[in-house]
Amino acid sequence: MAIEIRQFPCLSDNYGYLVRDLDDGAVAAIDTPDAAAINEALSASGWRLTHIFNTHWHPDHAGGNLALKAQWGCRIIGPRGEAAKIPGLDDAVGEGDKVMLGQSRALVRETPGHTLGHIIFHFPDDGAAFVGDTIFALGCGRLFEGTPLEMWTSLSKIAAMAPATKLYCAHEYTQANARFALTVDPANEKLKRRAEAIAQARARGEPTVPSTLAEELATNPFLRAADAGVLAAVGLSSGDPVAAFAEIRRRKDNFR
Ligand code: ZN
Ligand code: FE
């Protein structure tokens, strides 16, 4: 009923994650950005892969599925809304489904926006959520398939989790996200301090992921779309968070 997590870089800026249930040793890869890197992490830990949990169909998330399944015979669990696009899928899951990894329990939440079928895996008893490309440290996923309202609704599900929850996102985008965040939330002292800490961590070559939901609630502009200071900075006076979120996302898409 407790998990152990290994985190390692994959491709140019993805993170791979292995989650192991301490009771019976079941091991899940959260997404499969790079089968070779996942195999290296497995052999370094002496762990055997039993599951793959996919968040969405993008190749940097499901591209290693078939190679790993051929090697390990692992069971692949992924989003019902993208079942046809997830290589080797065994179990299609959706909102509210409970997925067991050994004795450990993950709850599935549907978080459309980045893709329409995107799901996240929340281990409430362990205070951990694997959020794929829905929320990033100081950012959120691009709206390739969904609408601002869908993504805002998805982010709101994450915002309602316990504040101490650790958010394991799929990319190290934090330093660039911080530069943008400061442009739409310039008076936020916590954000300024966090941006400095992020720059120092990256200069030392350290990951900035996971963060906690509490940190994101205080500093992530995409969660703070209803904040008066953020609204003013993007030139909106109304308190409509979806309109503000859409404007912040539009600005981020054009930010260099
Ligand atoms: Zn993606
Ligand atoms: Fe991705």
Question: What distance in angstroms lies between residue 103's CA and the mean position of ligand 1's atoms?
Answer: 29
Closest ligand to C-alpha of residue 57 is 1
Instruction: Specify if 86 maps to a domain.
Output: no
Condensed to tens digits (0 to 9), the pLDDT of residues 96-140 reads 999 999 999 999 999 999 999 999 999 999 999 999 999 999 999
Residue 121's nearest CA partner among 48, 208, 56 is 56
Question: What distance in angstroms lies between residue 150's CA and the mean position of ligand 2's atoms?
Answer: 18
Question: What distance in angstroms lies between residue 133's CA and the mean position of ligand 1's atoms?
Answer: 5
Instruction: Specify if 169 maps to a domain.
Output: no
Confidence of residue 162 (pLDDT cuts 50, 70, 90): very high
Condensed to tens digits (0 to 9), the pLDDT of residues 46-89 reads 999 999 999 999 999 999 999 999 999 999 999 999 999 999 99
203-230 in b/e form (b: 16+ CB < 10 A) is eeeeebbbbbbebbebbbbbbbbebeeb
Catalytically active residues are 56, 58, 60-61, 114, 133, 171
Instruction: Specify if 202 maps to a domain.
Output: yes
SS3 37: helix
By the CB criterion, residues less than 5 angstroms from ion ligand 1 are 58, 133
Contact 119, 110 (CB under 8 A): yes
Question: What distance in angstroms lies between residue 59's CA and the mean position of ligand 2's atoms?
Answer: 8
CA distance 1 to 21: 7
Instruction: Specify if 224 maps to a domain.
Output: yes
Confidence of residue 234 (pLDDT cuts 50, 70, 90): confident
Instruction: Specify if 204 maps to a domain.
Output: yes
Quick one: tokens of 179?
């530069």
Question: What distance in angstroms lies between residue 7's CA and the mean position of ligand 1's atoms?
Answer: 18
| Cα 245 off chain centre by | 18
Q: What residues pair up with 130 in beta bridges, in sequence order?
A: 121, 168
Closest ligand to C-alpha of residue 170 is 2
Instruction: Specify if 198 maps to a domain.
Output: yes
Residue 101's nearest CA partner among 5, 173, 166 is 5
Q: Which CA distances in Å does 100 have to 21, 24, 137, 198?
A: 10, 11, 27, 34
How many folded domains does the chain comprise?
1
pTM attached to this predicted model: 0.98
Q: What residues pair up with 132 in beta bridges, in sequence order?
A: 169
Instruction: Specify if 144 maps to a domain.
Output: no
Instruction: Specify if 115 maps to a domain.
Output: no
Closest ligand to C-alpha of residue 33 is 2
Q: How far apart are the first and last CA of the chain?
A: 44
Strands of the sheet containing 128-132, edge to edge, are: 98-101, 104-110, 119-123, 128-132, 166-169, 211-212
Question: What distance in angstroms lies between residue 232's CA and the mean position of ligand 1's atoms?
Answer: 30
SS3 196: helix
Domain with 188, as residue range(s), is 174-253
Question: What distance in angstroms lies between residue 56's CA and the mean position of ligand 1's atoms?
Answer: 7
